[in-house]
Structure 1
């Protein structure tokens, strides 16, 4: 946990304002339900998600199949957080960069370049293709394949895998 030095006072009803910078960094938006719990001696806020992980271990299976079939390395995200990275466990729980997250929110595949910031503080070591995971009109995640020269055929394979994951919701 980082000490960022922001002090807020609580009002008579126990309310406090979460600073805008923190809300932006955590991607909290107006109206987002937050889960509040105690961890040791700290109060923790996180986005509330009432559904269990619908993907279960399917995300790992898809990542492995894509990597074995197409070569390269594959990861799956839920929302903007990596939930499966069998080839590189250090990527687990990393958040997509705001720029990449914004690009896939329109529901179209995105071809990225080597050196582009894919995740917060992490530049891609390879070109990549990112296909959005759609559930009832909302982008709920993505499948990302790292490959030096991703092709349109590989994009179609990824779209098929993404469609399979969408059926898990």
Structure 2
């Protein structure tokens, strides 16, 4: 574990404040769910909770199925990283931190399509080089909360996403959201 040199006291209600610097680095904001663990040495461990992470094996299989069906890269993310990715070129996305722009799309809870040559481009992950592919993103909604996204990356230059790709991504996000509710 990394020592920060910051010491905080527990208040009379058992609360402790996580320093702003740590919250910013780990992208923890108000309302972010945290898991609490203890270990044998008596350490208390806080970990960002990822509901999509609980479905990681299932999400991987779903991404593989989407990639096979469409011939594109399929990604499933939570609010922090790419949880599952499949398709040609997906290895460079797997496990990487999502971009702030993608996190904003997830928070807005609305499907977005980005086309080659448009001025406004959406990087999937942080520090992603210029994307030359079409992209479609659908947030995953579970119990009213936006918890992640399903994205398809691909299409040849000049081709646009059609209704069938939009429906596939929407169906995948809806299905994953309902799986989380169970």
Q: TM-score, length-normalised on structure 1? A: 0.75
Matched, 1:92 2:102: no
**3-state secondary structure, aligned to 1:117:** coil
Distance 1:12 1:78, change over 3 A: closer
Give the CA RMSD over aligned residues: 3.4
**Please, which runs of 5 or more residues in structure 1 have no aligned partner?**
none
Q: For the Cα contact (< 8 Å) 1:129–1:150, is it kept in 2?
A: no
Determine if contact 1:128/1:150 at 8 Å carries over to the other structure.
no
1:99-143 CA distance string (max 9 Å, x none): 211122121112235664321222445331111111111111111
Aligned counterpart in structure 1 of residue 109 of structure 2, from 107, 110, 121: 107
By how many angstroms is 1:82 displaced? Answer: 1.4
Change (3 A) 1:69 1:7: same
Query: CA 1:99–1:89 in structure 2 vs 1: closer, same or farther (change >3 Å)?
Result: same
Instruction: Name whichever structure is richer in strand by fraction.
Output: 1
Higher helix share: 2
CA distance in 1, matches of 2:40, 2:62: 33
1:155–1:17 distance in 2 versus 1, CA, 3 Å: same
Stretch deviating more after TM superposition (89-98 or 66-75): 89-98
With over 3 angstroms needed to count, the CA separation of the structure-2 counterparts of 1:9 and 1:15, relative to structure 1, is farther
Separation in 2, partners of 1:131, 1:31: 22
1:130 corresponding residue in structure 2: 137
Q: Evaluate the alpha carbon distance shift between residue 49 and residue 122 of structure 1 in structure 2; reply closer, same or farther with a 3 A threshold.
A: closer
Aligned length: 165
Q: Tell me the TM-score normalised to structure 2 length.
A: 0.70
Could you say which residue in structure 1 is the equivalent of 2:64?
64
Is 1:156 equivalent to 2:167 in the alignment? yes
How far apart, in 1, do the equivalents of 2:122 and 2:53 lie?
32
Map of 2:46 onto structure 1: 45
